[in-house]
Amino acid sequence: MKKLFSLLVVAALLTLAACGSGNDQTSPETSGSTGGGSAKATEITILMGKPEIAKEFEAAVADFSNETGVKVTIIPLAGANAFERMTSLYSSGNAPTIMMMASEFETFKDRLLDLSDQPWVETVQEGMTDFVAVDGGIYGQPVTVEAFGFIYNKGILDQAVGGDFDPAAVSTHDEFRSLLEQIDALDGASAIHVSPMDWSLGAHLSNPFFAAQSSDRDERHQFMQDMLDGNVTLSDNEVFNNWLTTFELMKEYNSVKNSPLSPQYDDGPLALASGKVGLWFMGNWAYPQLHEIDPEGEYGFLPVPVSNDASHFGNNEISVGVPSYWVIDASQSTTDQQEAANAFLNWLVSSESGQNHYVNNLNFIPVFDSITVQPEDSLSLSILSYMEGNNTLEWMNSYYPADGWASMGASMQKFLADNIDREGLIQEFENYWKNAKK
């Protein structure tokens, strides 16, 4: 029996070795044949990460295919982790031609195509490509901008202040508190709904604390570096303390104060659009749901106050940023495919039908001067007005370590649920940043 077994193992190993070398021999052939295949009509693939607009994006791609004859296949991310999906696609030699990329850019940048000679680069708004600029080259096209802050229901706030509500009138702690009190005094409405998801707290609500440290880009990035180096005592940091006071205000006037961690994401749009609360901390991606619940509703953004001084940087700004970029693979795609991919990205932002899809169907907010179609919904208009006045905060959360939002979010959830106090939160934040992966 033992003999038999050892024989088996030897036989198996031998064949395995044979298979291995066989693979080596065939690999150049197969890669050669894919190269030859490009003589046919060009086919490109797009890895697409926004499931909420999948249908609309398919329609846009179908129009592009009809106009140019390029065959496009969409690879949906379908809830998978983007980094994992890209890694496996690359490792199997099936890298998508176009990818929607965010924090993964750092790892993949060596394999991407330099897009700086493309026509759309001329028309992109300032600062929007900072994240994907490496050594003078631009490696990604911004997909759109998104913004977050306090979304307010104008109907409720008009009632609360007894007149036409103006978001510019609320920019300090005191003004914010009196607004919350005014809403609370209304019959059947609470002041604010706080969604307790860790990404909402840890990645979004924490952003003003970093972004409002300084109006100078280098200084606030230096601040984050100092946090990593463990050189910051948060209890002495003015912006942090003031920011925490705002968080305390949110906690105090929370509509679900009795069980702050119970609400699900869907409770937010329901509470705001049905007029149960006046404010909700969230971003403009929630607009389709708000619109569905109350198509008549009017909404806008209110900045997160970070001090009691109205002129302080951050008190009149909302966080606006590019959540992801279109990038083109250069290492596994043929030249034809790369050209077709570039044609698609240019088509989307400069052709008439592309722009129509961009603004009206995909609900994107234009970051290109070439786009003449303007969005019409109240929330997008609110963002545009902040952008025009240059009243925007950088998305510092794009630069957090990979587990930054999850860890800070967990601490903030504990704070929200009275599990830890102010000192506890400061302690956990400092500990996290000191030990974070550099």
Q: Which amino acid is at 174?
A: D
Nearest-angstrom CA–CA distance, 295 and 274: 11
Which residues inside 408-437 make contact with another protein, applying CB under 8 A?
409-411, 413-414, 417, 419, 437
3-class secondary structure, 71: strand
Rounded least distance, CB 264 to another protein, Å:
6
Looking at residue 144, the DSSP 8-state letter turns out to be -
Nearest-angstrom CA–CA distance, 112 and 345: 15
Burial class (CB in 10 A: 0-12, 13-18, 19+), 289: middle
How many Å separate Cα 382 from the centre of its chain? 18
Which one of 80-88, 168-176, 218-226, 246-254 is the stretch in contact with another protein (CB under 8 A)? 80-88
Rounded least distance, CB 360 to another protein, Å:
33
Rounded least distance, CB 354 to another protein, Å:
33
Does the footprint of another protein cover residue 28 (CB under 8 A)? no
Which residues inside 169-198 make contact with another protein, applying CB under 8 A?
196, 198
Does the footprint of another protein cover residue 91 (CB under 8 A)? yes
Contact 212, 243 (CB under 8 A): yes
By CB under 8 A, name the one of 62, 168, 185, 261 that touches another protein. Answer: 261
Nearer to another protein, 91 or 390 (CB): 91
**Per rule CB under 8 A, count of chain residues that contact another protein:** 34
By CB under 8 A, name the one of 52, 67, 84, 166 that touches another protein. Answer: 84
Q: Which residues of 374-412 are buried (b: 16+ CB within 10 A; e: fewer)?
A: ebebbbbebbbebbeeebbbbbbbbbbbeebbebbbbbb
- Encoding tokens for residue 130? 């900072």
Does the footprint of another protein cover residue 402 (CB under 8 A)? yes
Does the footprint of another protein cover residue 87 (CB under 8 A)? yes
Rounded least distance, CB 91 to another protein, Å:
4
From 177, 148, 417, 421, select the one nearest 268 (Cα to Cα). Answer: 148
By CB under 8 A, name the one of 49, 167, 208, 260 that touches another protein. Answer: 260
> Which residues contact another protein by CB under 8 A?
4, 7-8, 11-12, 15-16, 81, 83-84, 87, 90-91, 107, 196, 198, 258-262, 264, 401-403, 406, 409-411, 413-414, 417, 419, 437
